[in-house]
A and B are shown apart, each in its own frame.
Chain A
């Protein structure tokens, strides 16, 4: 300890703002913390950069040669699938992060502070939204490098990015619940993987569902990943679009409507 004595206690002043304004400010503070923290975690950096790049290259050059989809070049068909796959698996980050915060006692500290109750979850999902934006932009660039052609226009691509981010945010709430229930980073990851795999692989992300057995096809055609892939694909490849985008948004909204309240309730109990 140093010899200089600095008063540890003295009358303190706090800034007064409306409750809503503080909810936003606190969520931004937590989001900023999460973004700084993520940028210093090698596993998150790899998950957010190397992995998406490898997936683009692998599907394009390893599987791409032996998969054909009628009516469109496979690389153009594939990109929408890889984008959706990446934001879906990326949502695991939300759950792992929350589980870690619980494990380390950080959430305990936050709950003892006079900050907005919503800030921990809002800040976490917000940070993951920013991370997803970075990942999606990176993957679009990678896609163009390996020969992906945009069949529509810049507006279509922008729309596709929005659909991807909205779906990523929705999946973040699912994973938030998983993280809060498991309370352990490894367990969250273990619980999340099969869930994510069941959404991503039996879908139209990489192949047309036509070749699947009847029951599997029925499932693959009516689940959120396929719906999102349909919307993104239409936005970058053209064809009937609006209906598909609406269906994708309905799925995302439905997921948030179910999982956000569950996650919030779980967070309140998670002491």
Chain B
């Protein structure tokens, strides 16, 4: 498609015996954010590495701005920016020196390198710290410097590999603001994240990956809708009552006991009538709930539903433990 800035088809990659990517397809339209969502080891970083020409795929094709990432790697590199989960800056260099280095290495005109570094430092609130070695920066400042370094050559396509992992909430929302502004300016972004909240907030489209495969895609709203519209959460006094309630509530909709053993979640499609039914079932059985909550499904629910595990459990390493949990 002509307006897809990133187009990936049947991407496969294995490392020794481990399959990292097992036929990934995705596309990102110009000026949008795609959230690549999945647990550790799902293949998010491998996808980014292939798209940023760092890694060659075993099979499949990937194009960025219509350029093949293997055959036209050099031209792809000129048009992309990469900011990673490891703040890839030289810690002994100052913020200013780091940005100027990238300016030179991206072959900007000498006269443009200094002002560009200065404006990015200003823009990312690093002007006061510009002449201090990056090792003295806080986690959030390093991430901002890392992102600024990815923007020195004004790339139209930006890859962000877990940009907010390890940041505190204020650092995270700071960075979210910057990413949103970039997209307002027309930048196309592929963002990987383990945080459903992040994908929910930023991404126009979400691709969920697990074990190197795409297991779902759509907007956050579409993914949530695929689960049924509403979840009724019933909290009970003890585990025995909870199991009993869960069995009875199956009549209303798919009911599951959550990890704490004292909550039943019922997925319903018609919230008004279903809540009435839940109350009636409980009353008939003489069960008195401690609390009753009606909520929209979160992306966490979607993820659990699709993969059978939550986002913070590693996907590949420990299937048996997850089965037991």
Question: A residues bordering B, Cβ < 8 Å?
Answer: 1-2, 4-15, 17, 22, 25-26, 29-30, 33, 36-38, 40-41, 104-106, 108-115, 119, 271
Determine if B119 and A6 form an interchain contact, defined as CB atoms under 8 angstroms apart. yes
Please give me the residue from chain A that is nearest to B182 by CB atom. Answer: A8
Enumerate chain A residues within 8 angstroms of B54, measured Cβ to Cβ.
108, 111-112, 271
Please give me the residue from chain B that is nearest to A40 by CB atom. Answer: B92
Determine if B82 and A36 form an interchain contact, defined as CB atoms under 8 angstroms apart. no
Determine if B53 and A8 form an interchain contact, defined as CB atoms under 8 angstroms apart. no
Choose from B89, B153, B186 the contact partner of A14 (Cβ within 8 Å): B153
Determine if B153 and A1 form an interchain contact, defined as CB atoms under 8 angstroms apart. no
In chain B, positions 213-246 with a C-beta closer than 8 Å to chain A are none
Enumerate chain B residues within 8 angstroms of A22, measured Cβ to Cβ.
107
Enumerate chain A residues within 8 angstroms of B106, measured Cβ to Cβ.
14, 113-115
Q: Does B90 contact A (CB under 8 A)?
A: yes
Choose from A1, A9, A271 the contact partner of B55 (Cβ within 8 Å): A271
A interface, over-half SS: loop
Q: How far is the CA of A12 from the CA of B104 in the complex (A)?
A: 13
Choose from A17, A25, A33, A108 the contact partner of B93 (Cβ within 8 Å): A33
Determine if B107 and A112 form an interchain contact, defined as CB atoms under 8 angstroms apart. no
Least CB distance from A268 to B in Å reads: 10
Q: How far is the CA of A38 from the CA of B93 in the complex (A)?
A: 10
Determine if A1 and B123 form an interchain contact, defined as CB atoms under 8 angstroms apart. yes
Choose from A15, A25, A38, A109 the contact partner of B82 (Cβ within 8 Å): A109
Determine if A114 and B82 form an interchain contact, defined as CB atoms under 8 angstroms apart. no
Determine if B125 and A1 form an interchain contact, defined as CB atoms under 8 angstroms apart. yes
Interface pairs (22), CB distance under 8 Å: A1-B123, A1-B177, A2-B122, A4-B123, A5-B181, A7-B185, A8-B181, A9-B151, A9-B154, A11-B154, A12-B154, A106-B89, A108-B86, A109-B84, A109-B149, A111-B53, A112-B54, A112-B77, A112-B82, A113-B153, A114-B74, A271-B49
In the complex, which range does the number of interface residues on chain B fall in? 35 or more
Enumerate chain B residues within 8 angstroms of A4, measured Cβ to Cβ.
122-123
Determine if A1 and B108 form an interchain contact, defined as CB atoms under 8 angstroms apart. no
Q: How far is the CA of A13 from the CA of B81 in the complex (A)?
A: 15
Least CB distance from A265 to B in Å reads: 14
- Supply 11 further A-B pairs (C-beta < 8 A) apart from A15-B108, A26-B105, A111-B52: A10-B154, A11-B154, A14-B109, A15-B109, A29-B104, A36-B93, A41-B92, A105-B87, A106-B89, A109-B84, A112-B159
Please give me the residue from chain B that is nearest to A37 by CB atom. Answer: B92
Determine if B105 and A119 form an interchain contact, defined as CB atoms under 8 angstroms apart. yes
